[in-house]
Amino acid sequence: MRISKIIIMFLIAVFLTACDKRPKETVNEQQKTGAVQMCGIVKTDQEWKDTLTPEQFEIARQKGTEKAFTGKYYDFKGDGIYKCVCCGNELFDSKTKFDSGSGWPSFFDTISQKNIASVPDNSLQMERTEVICSKCNAHLGHLFEDGPKPTNLRYCINSAALDFEERKKPDK
Q: Identity (one letter) of the amino acid at 102? A: S
Provide the CA 165 distance to its chain's centre, in angstroms: 19
**Binding of Fe ion by 43 (CB under 5 A):** no
Question: Which residue number, 116 or 156, has a Cβ lying nearer to Fe ion?
Answer: 116
CA-nearest of 147, 142, 146 to 132 is 142
**Cβ contacts of residue 100 below 8 Å, gap of 6+?**
106, 147, 154, 156
Active site residue 156: yes
Query: Closest distance between Fe ion and the C-beta of residue 138, in Å?
Result: 4
Query: Closest distance between Fe ion and the C-beta of residue 13, in Å?
Result: 41
Question: Which residue number, 111 or 138, has a Cβ lying nearer to Fe ion?
Answer: 138
Which span (42-50, 73-81, 88-96, 157-165) binds Fe ion, by CB under 5 A? 88-96
3-state class percentages of the chain: helix first, strand second, coil last, to nearest 5: 35, 25, 40
Q: Which of 84, 111, 157, 160 binds Fe ion (CB under 5 A)?
A: 84
Which residues inside 131-170 make contact with Fe ion, applying CB under 5 A? Answer: 133, 135-136, 138
| Active site residue ranges | 156
